[in-house]
Amino acid sequence: MTEDLIGYNDIINKSMINLVVDVLKKIKKNNGLPGDHHIYLTFLTNENGVVISKSLKSKFKEEMTIVLQHQFSELEIKSNHFSVILHFDNKPEKIVIPYNAMTRFFDPAVNFGIDFMLKSQQDSHKVKSKQQLANENLTLVNEEKKGGYEKTAEIVSLKEFMKETNK
């Protein structure tokens, strides 16, 4: 395969990040999520710029999934990151997530998800293990959820899609 001199992966990632930023801006503008929507955001906890407490860092050494639904506040959207206050064990904690640390975005109410192709995930072994961890995180969150939507979604990695189209 020829080297990508145009940088399609970077262009796609920027577009997907812009989509998440637009969704976050709508959530902020509307003071929350509409209807039964709730957003799962998975991110790498070791990326530069990620700010989480030591207790969360000890529980989520590599990757963490947060849920934006009812109990969040002070959502701030900046050019290269967003921050939000979430409650863990009834204790409010501010989390700062750079967009380049995001690995997944999922809205089960409309069965929509994004799998980011991060530069730090170029090694296929790392990609596979991080995708498996993200899938496990989403599965655990869904299993803990009582009632609600029973829909399932298949999140398609654009990297895998590109492999299929290049055959």
Q: Is the pLDDT of residue 61 over 50?
A: yes
Per-residue confidence band for 124, with pLDDT thresholds at 50, 70 and 90: very low
Average pLDDT over residues 16-25: 94
pLDDT tens digits, 147-164: 444 444 455 455 554 555
**CATH code of the domain made up of 8-165:** 2.30.30.220
User: What Rg, from alpha-carbon coordinates, does the chain have?
Assistant: 16
Q: What integer pLDDT is reported at residue 159 of this predicted model?
A: 54
Q: What integer pLDDT is reported at residue 137 of this predicted model?
A: 57
Amino acid, res. 29: K
Q: Which residues of 84-93 are buried (b: 16+ CB within 10 A; e: fewer)?
A: bebeeeeeee
Average pLDDT over residues 48-71: 91
